[in-house]
């Protein structure tokens, strides 16, 4: 009897969620700017997937006689100092930059959800410890800490992902904690308690669906900031190291005077790609926020 | 209020020592050591031993941690491994460039971001608002280093209006010039870096101000002011703005770590001799004393400014009650 009631409850909730997401989708579709950004983003992702597959050039193989060709019909974006095709490298770099952004966001959202819900749900010393930890991380400037960690532990892609995730979890953790503190007092949580549903189920089955909109908005905006951070770190020579391209280290040639003065094709395209991608993620994230949170609409 | 300040300080102290402990643990866990023969093949084992002993790096990490704290309390942050100069001296030489850049950039951000945010909120949904919002998206999404590179490309390389990089003209300059001329020269060198960092920051100040202003504009007391028949300009500048700007104090405090990060990147683009450059130099050689000294100072500055922002917030807004 008890089981049946719980099941009914969940099915009811599932239907409600579907409706809710349909509302969110309709709201989002009204925002022309956000829909446009979403399409541009899709196009960029498709290019990153397919250009390296269909390109006649490899991102590694180079021909010394082809070095530093300005954009031309053979090489749409020209070639670099050792003769690699930059059009191909741009989108291989995009795979890495986007991949790091997605993976880091996945990890820190997972960590943030876990710690944030523990912190909000249990309060007391659990909350104190997690909040002090997050204060520790967020009072260090990201760039400085990342430089130190990467210099000490090497700059392989897994290390970079771990570093980014370790330094960016406090943001989402606080958001989740704040939301849970609010929802903890809600009547349906009292109902859960009365029904004797265990803590784990209360968090994952009953709180998570309510938090999902915030998590999605946060994750979208977070991908943008991780892409920016990775690019900045790679630009400083502390991120992904060549020959693996990323949008950040593709701009690095701009730090040399010769390139800056005469070879704009080397660093302008990756710069534009970072800017465009990050802006699209920001606009989509903003559009999603307006769609899921009626209070923020038009703000 | 006093109780709140004391409680906050009591919370900050473990956070600060936690950061310090974390740094020591990271260094202990990391592979490789300072003065390894990878960095300089001429270093012999005996020499290395002597050097490690000199910098107390042969002690166990627990002892190093407590030694460091004991020394730091007396103002001694140790000696740099590669420079043979006190860490405090190296940091104080690098600090002016970073502080000048960050503080000027913050002022630029606020001077541009706050008025634009207010205008945007007042003319919500109109043409101006759309234009400013688009600018804000551009500002938030533009990588600072790419923006800096573009500024150099346009204003230094193509138009020849500003110097390409550096924190002042090279040495012959400055021997016979007056202090005023030196400062003018420095300001001229800092125009582009400050614009790069300041304009990116302006975008986020604009968005916060706009959101905060919109919230206030819809409140009851503003409607009362309108009902009284006050002039619109008086309502906006005297009644709404005062309350809308209070949350900006918090934003200032919270943005400081980001400001330092941005400043490190900007320094690299424009070749300024700041903390970012010193850190990049130090990490290459596993220069632990510099790394720890610098991170400690930055942590103190950000923790302190967050606390000050919280206190100012309470002072500025009497409705806030911290029990």
Give the pLDDT confidence of B42-52 residue by residue, as tens digits.
667 777 777 77
Contact A176, A113 (CB under 8 A): yes
B146 in a domain, yes or no?
Answer: yes
B123 in a domain, yes or no?
Answer: yes
- Across A287-296, average pLDDT: 76
Q: Which residue segment(s) compose the domain that B246 sits in?
A: 95-279
B129 in a domain, yes or no?
Answer: yes
- Across A146-171, average pLDDT: 89
Give the pLDDT confidence of A215-261 residue by residue, as tens digits.
888 899 899 999 999 999 988 888 888 788 888 888 888 777 777 77
**B165 closest CA partner among B270, B42, B286, B261:** B270
Q: What is the DSSP string of A244-272?
A: S--HHHHHGGGGSHHHHHH-GGGTHHHHH
B148 in a domain, yes or no?
Answer: yes
pLDDT for residue A104: 94
* Closest CA–CA distance from residue B187 to any residue of chain A (Å): 22
- Taking domain A20-60+70-297, whether its CATH number is 2.40.30.110 is answered by no
**Number of independent structural domains in chain B:** 1
B73 in a domain, yes or no?
Answer: no
Please report the beta strands in A70-203, taking only residues with DSSP state E, as ranges in sequence order.
none
Give the pLDDT confidence of A7-39 residue by residue, as tens digits.
444 444 444 555 677 777 888 888 888 898 899
Q: Contact B283/A152, CB-based, under 8 Å?
A: yes
**A238 closest CA partner among A150, A113, A108, A298:** A150
Q: Encoding tokens for residue A143? A: 């760039």
- Across B223-241, average pLDDT: 82
B197 in a domain, yes or no?
Answer: yes
What is the average pLDDT value for chain A, to the nearest integer? 81
Which pTM does this prediction carry? 0.85
B223 in a domain, yes or no?
Answer: yes
Nearest Cβ partner for B143 among A140, A232, A257: A232
Radius of gyration over alpha carbons of chain A, in Å? 23
Q: In chain A, whose CA is at the least distance from the CA of B15?
A: A136
Q: How far is CA A21 from the centre of its chain?
A: 21
Q: A-B interface: how many C-beta pairs under 8 angstroms?
A: 138
Phi, psi (deg, nearest 5) at residue B28: -70, -40
Region class of A293: left (phi > 0), else alpha (psi between -120 and 50), else beta: beta
Q: Contact B261/A141, CB-based, under 8 Å?
A: yes
DSSP state of A295: G
Q: What is the DSSP string of B154-216?
A: IIIIIS--S-SS-SSS-TTTTSSS-HHHHHHHHHHHHHHHHHHHHHHHHHHHHHHHHHHHHHH
Nearest Cβ partner for B280 among A147, A153, A267: A147
B74 in a domain, yes or no?
Answer: no
Region class of A139: left (phi > 0), else alpha (psi between -120 and 50), else beta: alpha
The Cα B140–Cα B134 span in angstroms is 10
Give the pLDDT confidence of A178-228 residue by residue, as tens digits.
888 888 777 887 788 788 787 888 777 878 878 888 888 889 989 999 999
CATH number of domain containing B176: 1.10.3720.10
């Amino acid at each position: 009897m008890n089981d049946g009631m719980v099941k009914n409850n969940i099915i009811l909730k599932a239907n409600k969620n579907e409706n809710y997401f349909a509302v969110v989708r309709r709201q989002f579709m009204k925002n022309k700017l956000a829909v446009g950004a979403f399409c541009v983003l899709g196009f960029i992702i498709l290019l990153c997937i397919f250009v390296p597959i269909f390109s006649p050039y490899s991102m590694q193989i180079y021909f010394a006689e082809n070095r530093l060709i300005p954009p031309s019909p053979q090489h749409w974006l020209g070639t670099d100092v050792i003769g690699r095709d930059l059009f191909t490298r741009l989108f291989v770099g995009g795979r890495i930059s986007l991949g790091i952004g997605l993976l880091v966001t996945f990890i820190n959202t997972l960590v943030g959800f876990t710690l944030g819900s523990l912190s909000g749900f249990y309060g007391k010393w659990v909350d104190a410890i997690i909040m002090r930890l997050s204060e520790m991380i967020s009072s260090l400037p990201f760039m400085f800490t990342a430089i130190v960690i990467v210099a000490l532990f090497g700059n392989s892609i897994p290390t970079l992902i771990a570093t980014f995730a370790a330094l960016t979890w406090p943001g989402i953790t606080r958001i989740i904690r704040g939301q849970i503190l609010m929802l903890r007092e809600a009547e349906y949580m009292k109902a859960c308690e009365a029904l004797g549903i265990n803590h784990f189920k209360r968090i994952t089955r009953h709180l998570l669906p309510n938090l999902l909109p915030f998590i999605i908005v946060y994750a979208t905006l977070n991908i943008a900031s991780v892409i920016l951070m990775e690019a900045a770190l790679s630009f400083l020579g502390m991120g992904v190291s060549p020959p693996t391209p990323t949008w950040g280290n593709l701009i690095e040639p701009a730090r040399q005077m010769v390139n800056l003065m005469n070879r704009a094709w080397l660093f302008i395209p990756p710069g534009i790609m970072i800017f465009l991608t990050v802006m699209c993620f920001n606009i989509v994230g903003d559009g999603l926020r307006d769609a899921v949170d009626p209070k923020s609409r038009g703000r | 209020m006093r109780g709140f300040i004391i409680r906050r300080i009591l919370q900050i102290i473990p956070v600060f020592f936690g950061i310090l402990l974390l740094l020591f643990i990271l260094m202990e866990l990391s592979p490789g050591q300072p003065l390894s023969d990878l960095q300089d093949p001429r270093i012999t084992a005996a020499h290395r031993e002597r050097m490690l002993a000199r910098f107390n790096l042969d002690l166990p990490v627990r002892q190093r941690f407590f030694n460091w704290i004991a020394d730091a309390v007396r103002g001694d942050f140790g000696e740099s491994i590669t420079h043979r100069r006190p860490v405090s001296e190296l940091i104080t030489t690098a600090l002016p460039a970073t502080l000048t850049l960050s503080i000027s950039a913050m002022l630029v951000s606020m001077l541009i971001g706050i008025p634009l945010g207010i205008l945007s909120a007042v003319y919500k949904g109109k043409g101006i608002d759309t234009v400013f919002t688009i600018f804000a998206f551009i500002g938030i999404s533009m990588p600072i280093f790419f923006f800096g590179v573009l500024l150099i490309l346009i204003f230094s390389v193509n138009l020849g209006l500003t110097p390409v990089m550096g924190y002042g003209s090279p040495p012959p300059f400055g021997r016979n010039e007056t202090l005023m001329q030196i400062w003018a020269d420095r300001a001229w060198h800092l125009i582009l870096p400050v614009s790069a960092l300041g304009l990116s920051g302006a975008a986020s100040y604009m968005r916060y101000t706009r959101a905060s202003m919109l919230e206030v504009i819809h409140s009851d007391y503003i409607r009362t002011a309108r009902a009284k028949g006050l002039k619109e300009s008086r309502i906006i500048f005297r009644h709404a703005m005062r309350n809308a700007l209070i949350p900006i104090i918090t934003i200032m405090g919270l943005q400081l770590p980001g400001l330092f990060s941005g400043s490190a990147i900007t320094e690299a683009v424009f070749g300024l001799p700041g903390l970012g450059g010193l850190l990049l130099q130090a990490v290459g050689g596993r220069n632990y004393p510099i790394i720890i000294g610098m991170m400690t100072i930055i942590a103190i500055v950000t923790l302190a400014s967050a606390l000050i922002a919280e206190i100012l917030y309470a002072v500025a807004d009497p409705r806030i009650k911290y029990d």
